[in-house]
Structure 1
Amino acid sequence: MELVWLEDFNALAQSGNFSRAAELRHVTQPAFSRRIRALETWVGVDLFERTTQGATLTDAGRHMLDSAQEMTRRLYQMRHEAREVAGKQARSLHFAATHSLSFTFFPGWVRAAERTSPIEAIRLHSDNMRICEQMLLAGEVQFLLCHQHPDVPPQFPAESFHSKVVGSDLLIPLQGQSAEMTGASAELSLLGYTAESGLGRIVSARLRKEAQPPNLHTVFSSHLAAVLLSMALEGKGVAWLPKTLAEPEIASSKLVRALDAHWDIPVEIRLFRPTMALSDFAEDFWAKL
């Protein structure tokens, strides 16, 4: 039994796709498939049903998932604590944060947090939402900072994690200044988010709730809000962008509304952590937020 097998199992359970999970694990698909098969051989049962559409957990796999995620987190936590006791690792906080928040919200928020709880060292991992979730599930980080909406729960078990609201944001449908605001019935070229993006999940959920959503035609996709912002500035289409990211361009009128305020999406900025005990330093930071 190897830890890497559990990490692979968690990644495939989350993504439901061998190619995507292999990407997340930074291995080739054949190597990833062999490791999943090795885990199933060790357990003695099939953990996934394989179809042309992807992979879904069997009853045995679903039964094993929570324990596998918890065990992985505990093993990484044990390693962090052992290193701290041995003096080989500074008393540091480990964060995963989505790209847009890493550049816009995180620096000022951490400076404000330090006023009540001085921080000796920080390690920040910036990536898309799917990878950030995977890092928190695997115990590679203590905290996950991300945009959150009540209609779009994170892709990990709520009972295994706590969270606190640490800020707010607004997703606004924006386009380049040369374009004019149009009605929802006119066809709009959409600069969309990929499936790896947490913002994409939120925008999709909001549009699904509408009886008459805008007439959108996707012309470009990225998991990076900053890339969509650049494309919008070039006049390539409409993107739902975080106000925290696009505020300078909005203030200078380089970006303007594509749709009225009805289509804005208020979101929370939340910090997640596992329910299991963290280091004393991390627990003190959490308590003082």
Structure 2
Amino acid sequence: MSLEIRWIEDLLALEQENSFSKAAALRHVTQSAFTRRIQNIEYSIGFKILKRYSKNIEFTDAGQILLASSKSIQNQLSTTLHYLEKNIKNDELSVKFAVSHSLTTQFFPKFIHALTEEIEALKLEIIASNLEQGMRLLKDGSCDFLICYCDRNTLQQLDDDLFASRKIFSMEVLPVTINDTRYKQYQLDQHFPLLAYSKHAFLRKCVDEVIVNKLNFRTLYETDNAGDLKALVMQGLGVAWLPRLLVESEIQEAKLRIFDTDQYNFYQDVYIIRSKITSSKKIDYIWNFLAG
């Protein structure tokens, strides 16, 4: 048995119109011809896809599975065409990255420097985003790669047939405050103002698991951007959990203080995710270079 593209279009038309006559008109055939085409699908796969006793258009279990596969194929094709339209002109490929905010300023510049030495005439575009935004950009073909904080449970929500992921490294996330006696010196065993990630940021969930119902705090400020939290900490406004890579120099220069307990530190994995639909020599090389 071989899959015919017109089956996909016929099934989607039937679901959309919920009527044989309207679906036939949409597919530019007579109703009798369209009915025969649906019957041919059933004959070819060996299963009934419509419930005959129903007054309305109602798919059987087999029909629902075939319909879901048809939608998946249509989405893959739409994503591919969207990608080609937006990214490939005159055989010149621009590689787009969606990157978690805190990784754009420290991790990504080092990566770009190493990568540009390996690939000539490489054009990169970077979109700072949280995990939710990055996933959306990846799914609709608006970026080629997503570099983000993530975990296996989140990755399991992605379709393995459409996306691939690899762990790059683990980032230590630390509770820090300003180390300047001109400002109030906060302690974790006392009430303190929290400079927090917004609910859309992946690190918000990670920090909440460490501190909620364990520490006495009030949320003073929320943002997706770890860089903004760092700036507020540097102004003595409170305590924030920040990636070590983002605050390493300030810690070494004693501008920021790490709380002297490992109880509230944690490590968070950083992943690179790509779509399996889009591919080129440059994209494949970057995938192997960064994830290898």
TM-score (norm 1): 0.67
Number of the residue aligned with 2:131? 129
Assess if the C-alpha contact under 8 Å between 1:169 and 1:267 holds in 2: yes
Name the aligned partner's letter for residue 182 of structure 1: Q
Q: Select 2:169's aligned residue among 155, 167, 170.
A: 167
Moved more, 129-138 or 174-183: 174-183
- What RMSD over aligned residues (CA atoms) do the two structures have, in Å? 3.3
Q: Select 1:187's aligned residue among 187, 191, 197.
A: 191
CA separation of 1:82/1:131 partners in 2, compared to 1, >3 Å: closer, same or farther?
Answer: closer
Q: What is the distance in 2 between the residues matched to 1:119 and 1:69?
A: 35
Q: What is the distance in 2 between the residues matched to 1:105 and 1:176?
A: 23
Name the aligned partner's letter for residue 236 of structure 1: L
Q: Select 1:101's aligned residue among 97, 100, 103.
A: 103
Q: What is the distance in 2 between the residues matched to 1:285 and 1:173?
A: 33
Q: Which secondary structure state, in structure 2, belongs to the residue aligned with residue 109 of structure 1?
A: helix
Assess if the C-alpha contact under 8 Å between 1:72 and 1:138 holds in 2: no
Q: What is the distance in 1 between the residues matched to 2:147 and 2:164?
A: 12
CA displacement 1:257-283 (0-9 Å, x = unmatched)? 245222111122221112335233312
CA drift of 1:156 comes to: 4.4
Name the aligned partner's letter for residue 188 of structure 1: F
Q: Which secondary structure state, in structure 1, belongs to the residue aligned with residue 92 of structure 2?
A: coil
Q: What is the distance in 2 between the residues matched to 1:221 and 1:96?
A: 21
CA displacement 1:52-86 (0-9 Å, x = unmatched)? xxxxxxxxxxx999976775454232243367776
Q: Select 2:141's aligned residue among 136, 139, 142.
A: 139
Within a 5 Å distance, the mapping from 1:1-289 to structure 2 comes to 42=16, 71-72=74-75, 74-81=77-84, 87=90, 90-118=92-120, 120-149=122-151, 153-154=154-155, 156-157=157-158, 159=160, 160-178=162-180, 179-180=184-185, 182-183=187-188, 185-207=189-211, 213-258=214-259, 260-289=261-290
Report percent identity of matched pairs: 21
CA separation of 1:199/1:282 partners in 2, compared to 1, >3 Å: closer, same or farther?
Answer: same
Name the aligned partner's letter for residue 187 of structure 1: H
CA separation of 1:71/1:234 partners in 2, compared to 1, >3 Å: closer, same or farther?
Answer: farther
CA separation of 1:166/1:118 partners in 2, compared to 1, >3 Å: closer, same or farther?
Answer: farther
Assess if the C-alpha contact under 8 Å between 1:191 and 1:228 holds in 2: yes
CA drift of 1:167 comes to: 3.3
CA drift of 1:43 comes to: 7.1
Name the aligned partner's letter for residue 163 of structure 1: S
CA separation of 1:68/1:139 partners in 2, compared to 1, >3 Å: closer, same or farther?
Answer: farther
Gaps of 5+ in 1: 1-40, 45-62
Q: What is the distance in 1 between the residues matched to 2:203 and 2:117?
A: 30
CA drift of 1:256 comes to: 0.7
Moved more, 111-120 or 90-99: 111-120
Assess if the C-alpha contact under 8 Å between 2:131 and 2:149 holds in 1: no
CA drift of 1:247 comes to: 1.6
Q: What is the distance in 1 between the residues matched to 2:70 and 2:227?
A: 37
Gaps of 5+ in 2: 1-14, 19-64
Name the aligned partner's letter for residue 202 of structure 2: G
Assess if the C-alpha contact under 8 Å between 2:197 and 2:223 holds in 1: yes
Number of the residue aligned with 2:23? none
CA displacement 1:20-59 (0-9 Å, x = unmatched)? xxxxxxxxxxxxxxxxxxxxx9576xxxxxxxxxxxxxxx
Number of the residue aligned with 2:49? none
CA drift of 1:113 comes to: 3.0
Name the aligned partner's letter for residue 198 of structure 1: F
Q: What is the distance in 2 between the residues matched to 1:278 and 1:224?
A: 30
Moved more, 111-120 or 127-136: 111-120
Q: What is the distance in 2 between the residues matched to 1:137 and 1:227?
A: 28
CA drift of 1:121 comes to: 1.1
TM-score (norm 2): 0.66
Assess if the C-alpha contact under 8 Å between 2:82 and 2:141 holds in 1: no
